[in-house]
């Protein structure tokens, strides 16, 4: 791993940022020495209806219970909208940039307030009240943010499902949290193509059952089927409700949202985040990690269907009264200069994206970047997967013209906000390292037995104490929450990531150590892809592993055993890929399908994934001990038939 280069903090950054090195040290030490005092102070960065007197009440063992600011009351929408209207009502809250470069809009905080209140009343008109779950299946349009904030305003719990998920996947998520209301759009638009969101919702509702109301925002105006009594266009409902809607007074620990994410086993988990601690943490990390100042224009390219969109397009920036850019399109439409054209058009100063996008754009060369000015940029960010040093250097040199520090932010859906990241005025950068912990975060590296390692070392990453943005439970399954994150290492939160710490105390995330793979920054459980494959009538067994992929970070490699009497060919490979796309969504498409008469199993029937991973990586010199296999001969066949292209 290249550790040769260290990028020191530019002197002008050390001088102007909120935090320089000595302040980082002082604040970090204070934050871990006395979390009560530290978070007691920083809780004040949001507004409260009733101030808290209690700060931290958390335990990871013998059971798990996480409560922050528990006797305070507030409202997230009030903090993200109302609070700013008097002071900065005419300031732009959201810049919306459409898929078509000719389309963009500025929405002020005053306008945002109007939209959110009306949307909240529309939800009420559909019978939504405090604690009810509302599923959003939306394109990247401002109405997605209005709908999230409208839920928060009236105390409803939103569950945003990424618009790239299939009707099957959407149905599972609607059913799991028993959403009676779904918000969608007629169609989405991405890269010049239309996505039939409403039609997908219809299919999902038919499967999930229990949906009483579908609210349809008109995006393209395409005709869509409308079920009488169940489906309503947003505009029609909005015209019939009052303009003003008061904020519900929420307890700090009332749920704010559910976000489904993949784990190593079973169906996706409903990660539950609550009100106050989440907002404090999202706002505070946005402020310090991006060194957000009032004159910045901030752009995070994520989709609101992922946690990055929740914390760093909507909640963190808006809580800070920021201007946040929301982009409907894709990096390569109409051309591969699009990101940088948008930067120039809106004078973006802080730009936050994923390594997979950087790698894809890198493949198109420097010219499309250099054709743009990018003079407004001052800070770059990365999230979602480890960034390889080559991509980091390219991002720094070509996109940032050597001027802009890069914050490589490590975190997870579960963590609510960034846990390990440089602070641009404080931290010397090493390409490929997420560097050091944020305030209040106590990372530790443990070995397989749970022994805490010290100094330079490598092992599994755990976090030793709670922080306000942490998830509180798996929706409807608190035992699964404990079992997944707190059972492996007693008294610690297990991240599922492997990690190395170097002699300077910098953290280098090495990737997942469980059966979760990270495809283009999208998290995917191998078990989910396997269960989609075995649902096909010709498939008897499937085992899925990740393997290194130049653009995606990891690709999906599926070993498939067919039912007796069936034979695999390219036609069936294509059919199985289409099948998985239908069951889960395009992001789960296997890159390789290898038909295998047998899978390597122990005598007790457990599939030895280690062997499958090695074969997928073309690393069969290092298969290790295969003597415990029930039938070692299957390995020869797997090697002989590896990597048939789809």
> Taking CB under 6 A as the rule, does residue 518 contact ligand PRX?
yes
Whether residue 189 contacts residue 163, with contact meaning beta carbons closer than 8 Å, is answered with no
In the bound complex, what is the minimum distance in angstroms from residue 472's beta carbon to ligand PRX?
A: 16
Annotated binding site for CoA: 190-193, 308, 332, 520, 581
Stretch that binds ligand PRX, among 17-25, 86-94, 468-476, 492-500 (CB under 6 A): 492-500
Residue whose CB is less far from ligand PRX, 356 or 409? 409
Using the rule CB under 6 A, give the single segment among 18-26, 360-368, 489-497, 615-623 that binds ligand PRX. Answer: 489-497
Query: How far apart, in whole angstroms, are the C-alpha atoms of residue 551 and residue 260?
Result: 25
- Least gap, CB of 432 to ligand PRX (angstroms): 9
Should residue 308 be labelled a site residue for ligand PRX when binding is judged by CB under 6 A? yes
Of the pair 241, 428, the CB lying nearest ligand PRX is at: 428
Q: Would you say 637 and 598 are in contact if contact means Cβ atoms under 8 Å apart?
A: yes
Residue 562, phi-psi category: left (phi > 0), alpha (psi -120 to 50), beta (remainder): beta
- Cite the DSSP H helix spans in 454-562: 478-485, 526-534
Q: In the structure encoding, which two tokens stand for residue 157, read together?
A: 């719990």
Of 509, 524, 545, 584, the one binding ligand PRX by CB under 6 A: 509
Tell me: does residue 352 bind ligand PRX (CB under 6 A): no
CA distance 268 to 529: 11
| 247-286: contacts with ligand PRX (CB under 6 A) | 261
Examine residue 462 and tell whether it contacts ligand PRX (CB under 6 A): no
Q: Rounded distance, CA 380 to CA 49, Å?
A: 36
Question: Measuring CA to CA, how many Å separate 119 from each of 112, 122, 138, 239?
Answer: 10, 5, 14, 11
Which is nearer to ligand PRX, 108 or 421 (by Cβ)?
421
* 636 vs 646: CA distance, rounded Å: 21
| Residue nearer to ligand PRX on the CB measure, 79 or 388 | 388
Interaction between residue 386 and ligand PRX (CB under 6 A)? yes
Beta strand 188-190 with 193-195 is antiparallel
Question: What distance in Å separates the CA atoms of residue 134 and residue 587, rounded to the nearest whole number?
Answer: 24
Dist CA 258 CA 159 (whole Å):
5
Minimum Å gap between C-beta 282 and ligand PRX is 12
For ligand PRX, which residue of 512, 536, 573, 614 counts as binding (CB under 6 A)?
Answer: 512
Q: Binding of ligand PRX at residue 385 (CB under 6 A)?
A: yes
With H, G, I as helix, E, B as strand and everything else as coil, classify residue 319.
helix
Specify the residue, 263 or 425, whose C-beta has the smaller distance to ligand PRX. Answer: 263
Question: Is 78 an interacting residue with respect to ligand PRX (CB under 6 A)?
Answer: no
Binding mask 394-423 for ligand PRX (x = CB under 6 A): --------------xxxxxx----------
By CB under 6 A, is residue 460 in contact with ligand PRX? no
Tokens 């002071």 sit on residue: 87
Contact 350, 383 (CB under 8 A): no
**Closest by CA position to 263, among listed 474, 477, 524:** 524
Q: Mark the segment that binds ligand PRX (CB under 6 A) among 132-140, 248-256, 381-389, 566-574.
A: 381-389
- Rounded to a whole number of angstroms, the minimum distance from the CB of residue 411 to ligand PRX is 4
Q: Which is nearer to ligand PRX, 486 or 579 (CB)?
A: 486
Count of other CB atoms within 10 angstroms of residue 370 = 14
Q: Is 561 in the site for ligand PRX (CB under 6 A)?
A: no
Q: How far is the CB of 8 from ligand PRX (least distance, A)?
A: 21
Instruction: Give the span between the Cα atoms of 574 and 493, in whole angstroms.
Output: 40
Of 103-111, 205-213, 384-392, 602-610, the segment contacting ligand PRX by CB under 6 A is 384-392
The nearer residue to ligand PRX, 80 or 282, going by C-beta atoms, is 282
SS3 label, residue 345: helix
- CA–CA separation, 514 vs 417, rounded Å? 21
Stretch 520-559: interaction string toward ligand PRX, x if CB under 6 A: ---x------------------------------------
307 belongs to the binding site for ligand PRX (CB under 6 A): yes
553-562 and 539-549 strand pairing: antiparallel
Q: For residues 301 and 306, what is the distance between their CA atoms, to the nearest angstrom? A: 11
Omega into 45 within 30° of 0, i.e. cis?
no
Residues contributing to the site for ligand PRX (CB under 6 A): 261, 307-308, 382-386, 408-413, 434, 495-497, 509, 511-512, 518, 523
């Amino acid at each position: 791993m290249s550790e040769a280069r260290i990028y020191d903090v530019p002197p002008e950054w050390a001088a102007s940022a909120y935090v320089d090195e000595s302040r980082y040290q002082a604040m970090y030490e204070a934050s871990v020495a006395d979390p009560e005092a530290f978070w007691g102070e920083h809780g004040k960065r949001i507004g409260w209806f009733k101030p808290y007197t209690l700060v931290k009440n958390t335990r990871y063992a013998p059971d798990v219970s996480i409560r922050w600011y528990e006797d305070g009351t507030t409202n997230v929408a009030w903090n993200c909208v109302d609070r700013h209207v008097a002071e900065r009502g005419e300031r732009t809250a959201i810049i919306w940039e459409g898929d078509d470069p000719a389309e963009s809009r500025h929405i002020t905080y005053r306008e945002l307030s109007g939209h959110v209140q009306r949307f909240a009343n529309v939800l009420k008109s559909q019978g939504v009240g405090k604690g009810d779950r509302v599923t959003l299946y939306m394109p990247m349009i401002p109405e997605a943010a209005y709908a999230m904030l409208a839920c928060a305003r009236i105390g409803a719990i939103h569950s945003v499902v990424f618009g790239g998920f299939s009707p099957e996947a959407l149905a599972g998520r609607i059913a799991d949290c028993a959403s009676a209301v779904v918000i969608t759009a007629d169609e989405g638009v991405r890269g010049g193509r239309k996505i039939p969101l409403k039609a997908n919702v219809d299919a999902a509702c038919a499967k999930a059952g229990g949906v009483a109301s579908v609210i349809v925002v008109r995006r393209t105006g395409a005709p869509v089927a409308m079920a009488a009594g169940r489906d309503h266009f947003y505009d029609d409902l909005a015209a019939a409700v009052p303009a003003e809607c008061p904020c519900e007074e929420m307890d700090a620990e009332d749920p704010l949202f559910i976000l489904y994410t993949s784990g190593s086993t079973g169906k996706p988990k409903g990660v539950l985040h609550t009100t106050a601690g989440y907002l404090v943490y999202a706002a505070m990390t946005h402020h310090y990690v991006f060194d957000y100042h009032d004159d910045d224009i901030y752009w995070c390219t994520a989709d609101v269907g992922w946690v990055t969109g929740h914390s760093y397009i909507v909640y963190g920036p808006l809580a800070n009264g920021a201007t946040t850019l929301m982009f409907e399109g894709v990096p390569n439409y109409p051309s591969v200069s699009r990101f940088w054209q948008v930067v120039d058009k809106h004078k973006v100063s802080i730009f936050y994206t994923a390594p997979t996008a950087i790698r894809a754009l890198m493949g198109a060369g420097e010219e499309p970047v250099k054709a743009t000015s990018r003079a407004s940029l001052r800070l770059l960010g990365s999230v979602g997967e480890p960034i390889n040093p080559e991509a980091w250097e390219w991002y720094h040199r070509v996109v940032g013209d050597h001027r802009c520090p890069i914050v490589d932010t490590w975190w997870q859906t579960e963590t609510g906000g960034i846990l390990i990241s440089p602070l641009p005025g404080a931290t010397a950068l090493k390409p490929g390292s997420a560097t050091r912990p944020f305030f209040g975060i106590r990372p530790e590296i443990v070995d397989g037995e749970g022994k805490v390692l010290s100094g330079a070392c490598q092992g599994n990453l755990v976090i030793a104490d709670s922080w306000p943005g942490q998830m509180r439970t798996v929706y409807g399954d608190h035992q699964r929450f404990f079992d997944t994150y707190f059972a492996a290492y007693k008294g610690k939160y297990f991240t599922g990531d492997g990690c190395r710490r170097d002699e300077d105390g910098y953290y280098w995330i090495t990737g997942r150590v469980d059966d979760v793979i990270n495809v283009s920054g999208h998290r995917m459980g191998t078990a989910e892809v396997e269960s989609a494959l075995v649902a096909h009538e010709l498939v008897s067994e499937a085992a899925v592993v990740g393997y290194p992929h130049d653009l995606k970070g990891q690709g999906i490699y599926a070993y498939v055993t067919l039912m007796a009497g069936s034979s695999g060919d390219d036609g069936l490979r294509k059919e199985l890929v289409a099948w998985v796309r239908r069951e889960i969504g395009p992001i789960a498409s296997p890159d390789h399908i290898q038909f295998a008469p047998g899978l390597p199993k122990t005598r007790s029937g457990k599939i030895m994934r280690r062997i499958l991973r090695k074969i997928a990586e073309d690393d069969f010199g290092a298969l290790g001990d295969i003597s415990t296999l029930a039938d070692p001969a299957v390995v020869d066949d797997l090697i002989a038939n590896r990597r048939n292209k789809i």
